[in-house]
Structure 1
């Protein structure tokens, strides 16, 4: 670690970074919920979470390929977050962070499908302590062991993210939200738009007219697959609309906080399983009638680890000592424009490919990425399967492309990465221009490296050595 990060910078910068990193973790900060619930009635909470959503495709976030009517309605009626960052752009680590309020190394799921530590508590415990019922319907990754995730499992939405269909019904969801005298927090976990992209109506989209992300190679295969993906985004939007309709029909809409979360980026090269913004940057919309001003936006920097502390704060609870996240309720209530100074990222590639550990740190504008084994090529078995004789996949269509002059540059950049990457995400949202060697950013890069090193030390993150194969634990009940 010392050899990787050692660099001479002024003592004042070191002190500043140490102070800010410590403050941004904010363990045991004071409760911000200084306005109690009206008439003592705690709000219900429904959190709808997407699965592998490229949030830039949502029309309320500037997407041009489809109009996401129902998700846009949430943005119109609530608060839109522009800087929600996933610390690890994979399903299981992101959801474990959401539920526990801990970063991946501390909750244990720092590789995809690696289980959390079985001594932990989660949002199910913390909200139950405040008198809430806590339920979950749909994708059930990170619901075991039950001792860590004591959710009421509600039938209705498909739990298997790779199922060929996503049939759902709302009978049991309706029963859950209308039964009992306790407030509820219900997680509605959609499997859309997770691969294999087999549901939804593809006839809505003309492949030739789609606007592709700037970091893609334009090939016929890419456009065909993107059509399938967008059809599932439409399916997700319809599910959001159905939940909105159910709340109104049952009279729950005025005392229910409705939150939409985008999870992490799509299963296309450069997004999921990476620490680029197309993988890490997510979406969050918060509708809270009477408490959140409609049509508002915030650029406050928040992470998935901050959501459980915020839910505890909303429920009237005190901060839980030892969590990595901190409540951003002051941002929701309009009392603050800022939440944290830095957001952090971690990627461990096993079991989805060869070892390829990556770490990142960002502020509101600049982002530093460290590839801890830059001498090795990046490889992901889902996108770049060495054993497939059929090369008719998005990635291999990029590799084989001879018409796009940028194709080789894009694929080489993805497969062979330098030790240090540094981006101005405001000017370069797709992170195509690496500024690491630009002398005008040397001091900023040095300060961010120091902050990242301090965070890794605080987390107990040993870096490259933890991206290895671990013995399998018996499945928890």
Structure 2
């Protein structure tokens, strides 16, 4: 699909969107909407999803009030394309934000515009849209300061002085637990557990403890935010909490493993969503846009990739998606790498079209004292420890195909792509994935000159 066709698709959606707003005009007042977003948080690090290292009482309280989604996934595991997919309801190849630090086409549907037309006041504080793209989404009000003290101050001042009578769609995004992490942490690094794919080294534990401190801090602010909206917004209120992708550790952010793409998602609305419920329905971040449009009284525009999961909110036993597709197209010169995946109830197939490329990231290239310096311990250990050598090698080099049986291997540790008994599964899923990519106009664009796996001497930081 050419860029022209993408633009025409965007125009068609925009034309249709005029009809989508009509239904809310003559109805009773819509519910207020609050969306609270974390930055780089894997679901598995929360007690709600089986994590054992920290307590998150505010997140747990929100789950007690609403519905927890056990299988929620982002469209892409880096900040810009993930947030663009959230706010457009389109996957990266269709909205135009494919690699990190890229932005959607001007003419595509944008959620704040729809909510504004439905009668909402739309405001965004902190990291909601990515970086300089925030004004392009046409929130009525936005402020990009994203550290928790600034967000706390700005949100409180806004709510206390607000006089607008329209229902409010409030989007709040904090930078936690995105790097850099704090130098101090209340989490004991020696008593914690680590994700199974990570090497257990002293500095890995230190940095994990710092990351988890930021998770505790974002949880504490969630409690404050809930108290604020209880005081200032209507009783009829939908509250949604999620994260843009997984944590910035190897095999997390920038990858299509579950540590990178499976995220927390909790939605509450008193009297409308069963308190304390859980659902196994598979949902994608592109599904949030049509869901919020329906909550706001509008009709879902045709031609978008998102599918409203409002039916699941009414009945947690309902199925939603039979397949989850995810894409990764790199992060400028720090990570020139492509991956595509398809997930079913049982299997996930990851296709790495260029296994000859080296997988590098900010972690291993920059080795920062505020985040990834532990990787120096990894590379040193790899010189003498065969297990460490395997882990480092699997970080930098990926086979073309990775197939996991998620029922018996939820941590995705055993690649079954070459298992002859699963050859038909691999073939079928690859065909489905390629068919879907064709409908998306996904041209597998390599946006920058890659680093090659067989030339480690060239693995150094580069700028475009």
TM-score range, shorter chain: 0.7 to 0.9
Distance 1:427 1:218 in 2: 24
Matched, 1:175 2:160: yes
Looking at structure 1, the residues matched to 203 and 46 of structure 2 have their Cα atoms a distance apart, in angstroms, of 22
Q: Which residue of 1 aligns with 2:461?
A: none
Aligned partner of 2:198 among 200, 203, 216:
216
Pairing 1:246–2:228 present? yes
Q: CA deviation at 1:133?
A: 1.2
Cα 1:462–1:160 change in 2 (3 A) is farther
Matches within 5 A, 1:297-446: 297-334=278-315, 337-380=318-361, 382-385=362-365, 393-401=373-381, 406-446=387-427
Q: 1:389 to 1:211 in 2, by over 3 A?
A: closer
Mapping 1:20-419, distance limit 5 Å: 40-139=28-127, 141-142=129-130, 148-155=136-143, 158-159=145-146, 168-169=152-153, 170-175=155-160, 179-198=163-182, 202=185, 204-250=186-232, 252=233, 254-334=235-315, 337-380=318-361, 382-385=362-365, 393-401=373-381, 406-419=387-400
Cα displacement string for residues 16-46 of structure 1 (whole angstroms, at most 9, x for unaligned residues): xxxxxxxxxxxx9xx9xxx999982311000
Shift of 1:117: 1.0
Q: CA deviation at 1:193?
A: 0.5
Asked if structure 2 preserves the Cα contact closer than 8 Å seen for 1:80 and 1:286, the reply is yes
* Structure 1: gaps of 5 or more residues: 1-27, 470-477
Partner secondary structure for residue 468 of structure 1 = coil
Does the 8 Å CA contact 1:368/1:421 hold for their aligned counterparts? yes
SS of residue paired to 1:46? strand
Tell me what 1:5 maps to: none
Q: In the superposition, relative to structure 1, how do residues 141 and 352 fare at CA in structure 2: closer, same or farther (>3 Å)? A: farther
1:390 and 1:109 map into 2 onto residues whose CA distance is 28
- CA deviations 1:199-244 (Å, max 9, x no partner) are 8x61x22111011110100001101111111110011001100011
Judging changes above 3 Å, is the alpha-carbon distance between structure 1 residues 449 and 85 closer, same or farther for their aligned structure 2 residues?
Answer: same
Is the Cα contact below 8 Å between 1:350 and 1:467 reproduced in 2?
no
Query: Which 5+ residue runs of structure 2 have no aligned equivalent?
Result: 1-15, 450-464
Contact 2:277 2:316 in 1 (8 A): no
Alpha-carbon shift at residue 392 of structure 1 (Å): 7.5
Q: 2:391, 2:367 → 1: CA distance?
A: 22
The offset of 1:57, in angstroms, is 1.3
Q: Secondary structure at the match of 2:264?
A: strand
Deviation of the 1:150 alpha carbon: 0.6
**Deviations for 1:420-441, whole angstroms, at most 9, x for unmatched residues?**
0001123222211001111222
Q: Distance in 2 between matches of 1:272 and 1:150?
A: 28
Per-residue CA distance 1:259-311 (angstroms, 9 max, x = gap): 10022111111100111110011110011100011111011111111110111
Q: CA RMSD in A?
A: 3.0
Partners of 2:368 and 2:136 in 1: CA distance: 39
Q: 1:405 to 1:146 in 2, by over 3 A?
A: closer
**CA distance in 1 between partners of 2:97 and 2:315 (Å):** 33
Give the conservation status (yes or no) of the 8 Å contact 2:96–2:105.
Answer: yes
Query: Are the structure 2 counterparts of residues 247 and 443 from structure 1 closer, same or farther at C-alpha, using a change threshold of 3 Å?
Result: same
Structure 2 partner of 1:475? none
Q: 1:141, CA displacement in angstroms?
A: 4.0
Report the CA distance shift for 1:135/1:227 in structure 2 as closer, same or farther (over 3 A).
Answer: same
Equivalent pairs counted in the alignment come to: 430
403-412 or 133-142, which deviates more: 403-412
- Structure 1 residues 335 and 53: alpha-carbon distance in aligned structure 2, compared to 1, 3 A threshold: closer
Q: Secondary structure at the match of 1:182?
A: coil
- Offset of residue 405 of structure 1: 5.4
CA contact (8 A) 1:79 1:294 kept: yes
Which residue in 2 is equivalent to 1:22?
none
Given that residues 147 and 176 in structure 2 are in contact (C-alpha distance below 8 angstroms), is that contact kept between their aligned partners in structure 1? Answer: no
